[in-house]
């Protein structure tokens, strides 16, 4: 119970910080929008609706992944100011609660971006999904959590290294390949209606469970590295 | 110890030479592919070794995380082993990909196909390149811990990658050793000699790299001690 309360306090703190500055969400929103525009210019989705349907799932997730890496670095950057990280290290609170609180906050930020940008994507890419849209209620949260949980962990991992901005994608992308494959395939399945997304949803779910467990178990080691 | 190293080195060079002779001059010509198939004698042994070394890396990393507070000198040794195995993994997976592409061009007609095994091998390559990148970016104090954590993640990721990509697509020939296609008895000696040769050669390289890293660690420790005394 105390553990959950600590998670909640961390979450509340991150949400409040974001509410006051709005830098992470605004940055991500604009960044993902730019990616959507750049890809639309490269492929002319309105001229080739079948191709747009096949590609837009992948584009959405690649955009979100890029955007998430920028915001994940920001979310830990806040803790570096005024030696807050050292305070976390000395505190008696369980380290994994800090991780969970921050991952949940990042999850909410990215979910917000998805809620805003999914309609924009549908308009820009002239999409008429042919599969069952209700799957997206499962695919979007699971896929977002896969990116955000690992991303929050690896952003903390690279916190004290040189080239922080480069290090996060260099670790996050190779590790997240199965999740990325799963979400893009599942989203494409919903949009094109060609095949059932069920198998890929199971893959993402398994990925989430395994890696969230690993993150929670190893976060203390990362926080107290050195 | 030094003598043992040179003995292993000599043994693996001799095995490599003997394996080359067996594969090029002794093994028969394959029925459909002709002599092109001979690259298989390097490709498969290299890839088998490339799948063993990452696990040595992961075990060494777990050992490092366990020992780093209890037994400092053992932890340093395990860390050196982790660096050495990661570097040789990158080398071997890279060689495996290169030999596979050399084979794919004449047989499939393309250098690269997004097939299950090729993609898995590429992911393994990317994972360990990122491991080495992290090592080179991290400050010396926390680099080993971070790298060890990443190695555990990579170790968890490898089976998931393997499975997910197998669902995705498959074009690679079925495994000739365990699958339906079988290796002709006359081809086994050349294959087994090369398997031993490349495995021992990898171990030699790991040993050499381990010795270098150990010396670097000792120099760093000595410098730290001198700085403390000064």
pTM value is: 0.85
pLDDT digit string (tens) for A100-115?
Answer: 999 999 999 999 998 8
Report the complex ipTM.
0.83
pLDDT category of residue B94 using cuts at 50, 70 and 90: very high
Contact B141/A222, CB-based, under 8 Å? no
The distance of B145 to chain A (nearest Cα, Å) reads 6
Mutate to test the interface with B, among A69, A96, A161, A163 (most CBs of B within 10 A): A161
- Alpha-carbon distance A156 to A218, whole Å? 11
Q: How far, in Å, are A62, A171, A218, B125, B217 from residue B144 at the CA level?
A: 31, 15, 14, 20, 12
Tally A–B CB contacts below 8 A.
Answer: 88
pLDDT category of residue A222 using cuts at 50, 70 and 90: confident
CB atoms within 10 A of CB B196: 17
From the list A174, A206, A211, the residue facing B126 with the nearest CB is A174
From the list A161, A171, A203, the residue facing B130 with the nearest CB is A171
Q: Which position has the token pair 């290294």?
A: A161
The end-to-end CA distance of chain B, in Å, is: 34
Interface of chain B toward chain A, CB-CB under 8 angstroms: 65, 123, 126-127, 129-130, 133-134, 137-139, 141-143, 145-146, 149-150, 152-154, 156-157, 160-161, 163-165, 167-168
Burial readout A112-125 (b: 16 or more C-beta within 10 A, e: otherwise):
ebbeebeeebeebb
Residues from chain A contacting residue B137 (CB–CB below 8 Å): 158, 161-163, 166-167
pLDDT digit string (tens) for B97-128?
Answer: 999 889 888 888 888 888 777 888 898 899 99
């Amino acid at each position: 119970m105390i553990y959950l309360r600590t998670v909640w306090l961390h979450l509340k703190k991150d949400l409040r910080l974001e509410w006051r500055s709005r830098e992470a969400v605004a940055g991500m929103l604009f960044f993902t929008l730019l990616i959507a525009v750049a890809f639309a210019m490269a492929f002319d989705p309105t001229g080739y609706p079948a191709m747009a349907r096949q590609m837009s799932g992948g584009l959405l997730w690649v955009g979100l992944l890029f955007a998430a890496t920028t915001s994940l670095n920001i979310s830990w950057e806040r803790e570096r100011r005024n030696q807050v990280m050292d305070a976390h290290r000395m505190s008696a609170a369980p380290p994994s609660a800090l991780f969970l609180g921050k991952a949940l906050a990042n999850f909410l930020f990215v979910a917000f971006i998805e809620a805003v940008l999914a309609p924009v994507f549908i308009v820009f890419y002239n999409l008429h999904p042919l599969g069952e849209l209700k799957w997206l209620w499962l695919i979007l949260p699971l896929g977002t959590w896969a990116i955000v949980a690992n991303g929050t962990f690896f952003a903390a991992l690279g916190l004290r290294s040189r080239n922080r901005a480069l290090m996060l994608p260099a670790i996050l992308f190779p590790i997240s390949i199965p999740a990325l494959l799963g979400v893009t395939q599942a989203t494409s399945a919903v949009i094109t209606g060609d095949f059932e997304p069920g198998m890929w949803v199971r893959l993402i779910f398994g990925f989430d469970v395994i890696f969230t467990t690993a993150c929670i178990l190893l976060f203390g080691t990362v926080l107290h590295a050195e | 110890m030094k003598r043992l190293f040179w003995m292993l080195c000599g043994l693996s060079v001799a095995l490599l030479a003997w394996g080359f002779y067996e594969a090029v001059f002794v093994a028969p010509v394959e029925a459909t592919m002709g002599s092109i198939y001979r690259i298989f004698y390097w490709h498969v042994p290299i890839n088998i070794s490339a799948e063993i070394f990452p696990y040595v890396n992961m075990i060494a990393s777990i050992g490092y995380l366990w020992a780093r507070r209890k037994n400092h000198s053992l932890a340093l040794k395990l860390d050196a082993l982790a660096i050495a195995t990661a570097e040789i993994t990158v080398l071997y997976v890279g060689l495996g990909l290169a030999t596979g592409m050399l084979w794919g061009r004449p047989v499939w007609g393309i250098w690269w196909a997004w097939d299950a095994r090729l993609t898995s091998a590429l992911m393994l390559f990317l994972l360990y390149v990122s491991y080495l990148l992290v090592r080179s970016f991290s400050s010396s104090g926390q680099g080993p811990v971070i790298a060890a954590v990443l190695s555990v993640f990579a170790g968890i990721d490898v089976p998931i990658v393997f499975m997910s990509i197998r669902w995705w697509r498959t074009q690679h020939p079925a495994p000739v050793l365990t699958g339906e296609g079988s290796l002709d008895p006359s081809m086994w000696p050349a294959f087994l000699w090369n398997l031993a040769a490349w495995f021992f050669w990898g171990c030699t390289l790991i040993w050499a790299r381990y010795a270098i890293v150990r010396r670097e660690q000792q120099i760093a420790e000595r410098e730290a001690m001198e700085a403390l005394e000064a």
